[in-house]
Structures are given as C-alpha cells and as structure tokens.
Amino acid sequence: MNTGRQMHQNIKQIGFVLFLLASSIFVIWGLIYFVSSVLGAFTIYMLLRTPNNMLQAKSWPKLASTSFLLAMTFIVLFAAGSFLFTTIYGEIKGFDPQIVRDNISNVHDFILNKTGYNIFSKDMAEKAVQSGSKVLPNLFSMTGSIVSNSMMLILVLFFMLQQSSQMEATIEDNLPLSKASISLLKKETKNMIVSNAIGIPLIMIGQSLFAGLGFWIFGVPNAITWSILVGIAGLIPIVGTGLIWLPLSLNLIYNGELWPGLGLMLYGVLIITNVDNVLRMFFLSKYADVHPLVTVFGIILGMNLFGFWGIIFGPLMISGLILLFKIYKSEFPNN
C-alpha cells in the first residue's frame, strides 16, 4: 500500500517538474530577446557584488550604494559605446574591402612566384573577403538591439543589487545541492565570470593595441582597422593574429618595402602572438584560466544565440556546463 502511494507521489512530482520545465521554457522563449540582458546583469552583478557589500558595510544605504554602482556601470558602458561608434566606426566606414583583396592577391602571387605553390585559389580568397566584410557591418547594424538590451540590463541589475541578500538566499534555498557544493558553485562562478567577462575583452584590447602600434611603426595603411581585425582574429588560438599580420608583412615585402615587411613579421612573431600568452599568465591564471577552445566554441555558440553579446556569454555558457559536471562529481562521488 505504501509502495503504491509512494509511486503515485513520485508520478505527481515528475509530472509537476515537467510542467515547471515546460512553463519555464515557454516564458524564456517569450522573453528570448532580453535573455542577454539578464545574463549581462548577472555577470555584472557578480563583479559588483563585493564592492556593493563593502559600501553597505561602511554604512551606505542600499539605495545609495546601488545608485552609485549603477552610475559607474552606465558611465563605463556609455564610454565604451561612444568610443566604438566614433573612433572605430569612423575608421571602418571608409575602409575599402578592395584593399583586403589586393593584399591577398599580392601575397598569393608572391608565394606562387617564389615557390611555385598555389596555396589557395583566388575564388576562395574572394569568398573569404566577402564573408569577412559582412562581420563588422552586422555588428554595427545591431545598434538598436545593443541599446535596448543595455537599458534592460541596467534595470535588472538595479533590482539584483538592491535585493542581493534576498536573491542569493532564495537561490541557495532552492538549489538541490549540499552547502559544500553551493560554496564551490559561488566561488567557481565568480572566477569563471571574471575570467571570461574581463579576460576575453582584455586580451582583444591588448592584442589590438600592440598590433596597432606595430602597424603604425612599420607604415601599414589603415592601421586602426587592421588592429581591430587582429583583436577579433586573436580569439582563434595560436594562428589567429597571424592571419592578419603575416599577409600584411608579405604585402609590404611584395611592394618593395623589404625591411618594414621583415620588421613587422618579426614584431608579429615576438610581440603580437605572445600578448595572449602574457595576459593569460598574469591575469587569467589568478582566476579560472579558460582554455582557448572554450573561448572559440563559446563565441560561435554565443554569436548564434545572442549576437554581439555572445562574445562574452557564449564562453560563459560552456564554462558553466563544465562547472556543472564538476559539481555533479562532487555531489555524487561514488557514481
């Protein structure tokens, strides 16, 4: 009799869980446009959690500490957006894709004449240029989406900071995990967010700055545009930045500028390529050192799901999945 009641209770529980799951999927699907806002708010919340607690420990009222941190967040987002659409957009707007075609064609002809090897067809190069030329315009066409999501992000972040204690207590009470696993989850989540949300942009900016300096020193035209492309290509491990600076070096040599071309090639090997390794060693190793493949596949996943914001949230999703496997192993060590 008890067995029958227990089975009936289990069936009811499973049915209710399935209903909750279906309802959650329905709600998330209906608000899919703003999922990136919630993820962004949670990411920034984890970064501001400690400063928020410190301000309140110094007798700051909740509203005052929340307002101050929100103001700082808005200033940073606005400054980054303004820089993006004034300096970078102005440079890219006048960039002629034909320059890329000419560089690739020159490199192709140079290698073919010197070695006799046809490393790629010109049709392949043309298709690559056409695909690449769509990336940056697509990013800028997302302006409306970025602005609206940023406003929603600020709103969600306000309530997260204002009700941080209640929110964390509610989450901890409803997680089916032991206290040790919850503690591990909080620690690893913070490290993971710092590593991805700060580390990835830091690496992109670092590679762009050093590449731009090298391009300026060795007289590469459109140095700012090429340095931006280096930052994007640098997300591909090992060979990423070389996809930009190596053809530029060979193009300089092809056009009769032997020493600038060799100098840029040496600069690329010694400096640009190693910026990623140095930043990872001095910054990311202090937190959760993200494997480069997690970054690559995470960005592919994130861009498909969230567009521009996927550069940050995609790697976070894959890192989060890896973390869940770690917690599962901690919760069920005998299985």
Give every residue of the chain whose pLDDT is below 70, as ranges.
Answer: 1-6, 8, 84, 87-145, 237-238, 280-290, 307-309, 334-335
**Backbone Cα Rg of the chain:** 25
Is residue 230 within 8 A of residue 241, CB to CB? The reply is yes
Q: Is 54 helix (H, G, I), strand (E, B) or coil?
A: helix
Report pTM: 0.67
List the chain domain ranges: 1-30, 178-335
Nearest-angstrom CA–CA distance, 157 and 185: 21
- Cα separation of 36 and 153, whole Å? 8
The amino acid occupying position 125 is A
pLDDT digits (tens, 9 = 90+) for 168-205: 888 888 777 778 778 878 887 877 787 777 777 888 88
Say if residue 231 is exposed, middle or buried (CB neighbours under 10 Å; 0-12, 13-18, 19+): buried
* pLDDT computed for residue 68 by the predictor: 92
**Distance of alpha carbon 285 from its chain centroid, rounded?**
17
Q: What is the pLDDT of residue 194?
A: 77
Side-chain-side CA neighbours of residue 120 (13 Å): 12
Q: What does the pLDDT look like over 219-243, one tens digit per residue?
A: 888 788 788 888 878 777 667 788 8
Instruction: Please check whether residue 139 is in contact with residue 164, taking contact to mean a CB–CB distance below 8 angstroms.
Output: no
> What's the pLDDT at 118?
59
